[in-house]
Amino acid sequence: MNNNFIKATIIRAIRTICQTAVATIGTAFVITDVNWWMVISASILAGILSVLTSCATGLPEVEYEKHFYMNLEEPEDAEVADDEDE
């Protein structure tokens, strides 16, 4: 594991935690009905699962970067943003 992989994994885990918190909070009718322990525990579990998934399967953004800096051909499944769409 290198620094780029660790950084990308942390960023992905934080995004997953935030998305889970928003989704869990959104299930309550009003803010006073939110079960905060459930929000916290579900969000932490989602973050842990995100880290484990990243370690098990890798991250596409890190794989693309590795190929780019090693002057290898671009991976076939890499997505490249088009500037023409803007």
Cβ atoms 80, 60 nearer than 8 A: no
Burial 24-58 (b: 16+ CB within 10 A, else e): bbeeeeeeeeeeeeebeebbeebbeebeeebeeee
DSSP 28: S
Whole-prediction pTM value? Answer: 0.67
Per-residue pLDDT in tens (0 to 9) along the chain, 86 residues: 678 888 989 999 999 999 999 999 998 888 888 999 999 999 999 999 999 999 888 888 776 555 444 554 555 655 655 555 54
